[in-house]
Amino acid sequence: MISALLSRKRQVEIEESIIEMFQDFGIKPTYPMSIQRTAEILGIKVVPYSSLSDEERVMAYAASSDAFHIRTSNFMDIRIIVDDTCGAYFYRSRFSGAHELGHIWLAHKEDQPNIEEEANYFAGYFLAPHPLILTSPANTNFAEAFGVSIDCASFAYDQANSRVNEGSWRPHEQWLLEKSTWIGGGLLSQM
């Protein structure tokens, strides 16, 4: 899911960027996180494939079978288009939506290196941050708790455990621990 191309320093920068987004826009970290709600707060419209006309849906599938984003050159209109049809499943749609949110928030340009790895890291930390995994009860079903796939939960758990070796909480992690709340299982939450 996340390649070794990203340095730990860059990973921490992405983590801090997510917390800055929460703070700057008054986004309360409520888990499982709603991509739809976060996007709306940021002024980004989430468009499900199912709302597109047949012709638009064909063009959307030609662009991506998961999700993609479009924006005007002046960033006044930004949209995340997410496959919510029978070909995609709930957790995949959530990760894909968060991945596209990462591209937008990190202001990626096509010619930048590692943008896919960065967007994947953004999505993983946005949906299942290490501090919350590390402070969860031992019997927590992370996939259900965070509304992510089993593969994503397993990867997040492994990354969180490697984080333990880094010592005490960084300020952005402490903020997340203090401000986060839970609303319930993944399938009950919305996109």
Whether pLDDT at 132 is above 90: yes
H or E segment and range at residue 51: none
How high is the pLDDT of residue 87? 54
E strands in the chain: 30-31, 44-48, 67-71, 78-82, 181-182
Predicted structure pTM score: 0.87
User: What average pLDDT does the chain have?
Assistant: 87
Query: What does the domain layout of the chain look like in residue ranges?
Result: 8-181
Q: Provide the percentage of residues in the chain whose pLDDT is more than 70.
A: 91
How far are the Cα atoms of 106, 122, 164 from residue 21, in angstroms, in the given order?
10, 12, 24
pLDDT tens-digit series, residues 4-44: 689 999 999 999 999 999 999 999 999 999 999 999 999 99
* Whole-number Å distance between alpha carbons of 65 and 79: 16
